[in-house]
Amino acid sequence: MDDMYREQILEHSKHPHNFGTLEEPSVSREEFNPLCGDRVRMDLQITDGVITDVRFSGRGCAISQASASLLTDELRGMKVEDAKVYRKEDLLELIGIPLAKNPVRLKCALLSLKALKAGLYGVGHIHDDDEEE
Amino acid sequence: MATLSTFDVLALRREFPILQQQVNGKPLAFLDSGASSQKPRCVIEALDDYYRRYNANVHRGVYKLSEEATFAYERARGKVARFIGASSKREVIFTRNTTEAINLVAYAWGGANIRAGDRILLTMMEHHSNIVPWQMLAQRTGATLDYIGIDAEGRLCLDDLEQKLTPGVKLLAVTQQSNVLGTINPVALLAERAHAVGAKILIDGAQSVPHMPVDVRALGCDFLAFSGHKMCGPTGIGVLWARREILEAMPPFLGGGSMIEVVDLESSTYAGVPARFEAGTPAIGEAIALGEACDFLAGIGMDSIFQHEQELLGHALDRLASVEGLHIIGPHTTEQRGAALSFTLEGVHPHDVAAILDGEGVAVRAGHHCTQPLHRFYDVPATTRASFYIYNTAEEVDRLAAGLEKARKLFQ
Ligand SMILES: Cc1ncc(COP(=O)(O)O)c(C=O)c1O
């Protein structure tokens, strides 16, 4: 457990980066975790195929908030094409805590990525299986 | 520390092999029995014995093993009947769990008795299992649903009940004990009121049958649903009890083997109760082991179990009151309240609370506990819940409180 609440996670969850919403986002998407009722919304500003600004909002556990905070840092300046194929492994590596054997917390960690992908692909529903394995 | 005088909890714990282990280097304090309880040796052995010694299908073979299995399966039905004070074992239908028992009533009884314009009355504290089947029935039939409100402490508003329980209501479906709030509802009174307007009453006993004496005749209810796995029994087995006259008049639920009398090509005649409602091969070993669980609980005494949990609850309410920023959702006293304690901790998300407690070897549940409407009522997305059972100790309550202090400091 103490593994899970490293300084970085606590820091990002207490003081998340890019928290809030955008006035007129190019893409805005909220995803919901039916297991615990948490939600994360991602707002993206896209200019010429590049993510120029990004915010997230919502509520959730330290893992989901820290993960969203870390992801938004990554996304700023990223090409949309790259963001579309951003791998969950990369996000998990950023988070840096062992979640592979913890399917419940994995869902928390990947909620922001799910919102990003669903927003960028404009699909109605990204099936949960995409995040499990 | 509270002294728990009612029975020898340490001796009792030795009957639960799973409790003898360490989690994250600490002895396991299992405080999630509201989700599913642990199993005593005798229940595990009953399952094992069935599969090793007399595994065979029931009601089908004329050979020794099948006779023995049938005898044990039907004897288990009798044990369950006795455990809940049923007047006949024919009133006991084995299902998979509470959820299936409620769905059985919604399809079979509901299909035959609920019409467009009829009202079905629920409460704001129901588990999704006692909401969704009624929504589906309402959609099929054109009936409407209504919910009795609760007050800030999580008690049913009896004024609201008077307002809503009027002629036109055909069914009142209510939990005897909330899995989140711990609130114990006055179901005998509710049964009387329901009957006075010509409604039937279904009691969700998932959280009451494991924890307190429940006597269906004393309660005067029409249906009672509960799960084996929350009362020291295995998963995959649950019970629907209903009054004989109601069952006799009810059409079947699932069709198939065992529930028929004569099958012709066009139609069939159905078996009597309870066989009519037990299509297909049942969970034989699980039913037998549930019978064993009933004997085990009855042997300790449901009054003593309730008393033990009341003492734990009292101690937990005291200890948690001193944790800064902790808010209990549900009654703040032990009066008419069972030992499920849900709470929020300011500044710490329930998932994080549960993960930090897990690190201390304390297993609790975090989430909405299958009660989204109730959580919406309190305007919280999720809570952390500690729920106690026969094998829990005051020392485990103290470890819970210490873990919560740790969580609070970490997120300060
Ligand atoms: C009050 C209540 N009703 C119904 C259920 C559903 O039980 P099961 O999942 O065994 O069908 C539960 C258990 O989660 C419960 O606590």
User: Rounded to two decimals, what is the model's pTM?
Assistant: 0.91
Average pLDDT over residues A84-96: 92
Kindly give the pairing relationship between strand B340-345 and strand B362-363.
unpaired
DSSP 3-state of B201: strand
In sequence order, the β-bridge partners of residue B156 are: B150
**CA distances from residue B192 to A67, B156, B397 in whole angstroms, order as listed:** 53, 16, 38
What's residue B412's pLDDT?
Answer: 85
DSSP 3-state of B274: coil
- The torsion angles phi and psi of B64, rounded to 5 degrees, stand at -55, -50
What's residue B22's pLDDT?
Answer: 92
pLDDT band of residue A2 (cuts 50, 70, 90) is low
Mean pLDDT (chain B) is 95
pLDDT band of residue A124 (cuts 50, 70, 90) is low
**Closest partner residue to A108 among B351, B358, B411, by Cβ?**
B351
Helices (H), chain A: 7-14, 62-75, 80-84, 88-95, 103-109, 111-121
SS3 content of chain A, % helix, strand, coil (to 5): 45, 20, 35
What's residue B61's pLDDT?
Answer: 77
Q: Which residue of A has its CA nearest to B384?
A: A36
What is the Å distance from ligand 1's center to B207 Cα? 7
**The pLDDT of residue B179 is above 60:** yes
**The pLDDT of residue B4 is above 50:** no
CA distance B395 to A92: 37
What's residue B1's pLDDT?
Answer: 38
**CA distances from residue B265 to B257, B262, B269, B372 in whole angstroms, order as listed:** 15, 10, 11, 46
pLDDT band of residue B351 (cuts 50, 70, 90) is very high
pLDDT band of residue B6 (cuts 50, 70, 90) is low
The sign one gets for the Cα dihedral B228, B231, B232, B235 is positive
Mean pLDDT (chain A) is 87
In sequence order, the β-bridge partners of residue B177 are: B184
**CA distances from residue B175 to B107, B181, B184, B203 in whole angstroms, order as listed:** 19, 11, 8, 6
Query: Do the Cβ atoms of B133 and B122 come closer than 8 Å?
Result: no
In chain A, which residues touch B (CB < 8 A)?
1-2, 4-5, 10, 14, 35-39, 59-64, 104-105, 108
Of the listed ranges A26-40, A65-79, B133-147, B175-189, the one predicted with least confidence: A26-40
Q: What proportion of chain A, given as a percentage, has pLDDT over 70? A: 89
What are the tens digits of pLDDT across the range B280-316?
999 999 999 999 999 999 999 999 999 999 999 999 9
Pocket-forming residues, ligand 1, beta carbon under 6 Å: B 97-99, 127, 129-130, 175, 179, 204, 206-207, 227, 370
Instruction: Return the residue whose CA atom lies nearest to atom 15 of ligand 1.
Output: B206
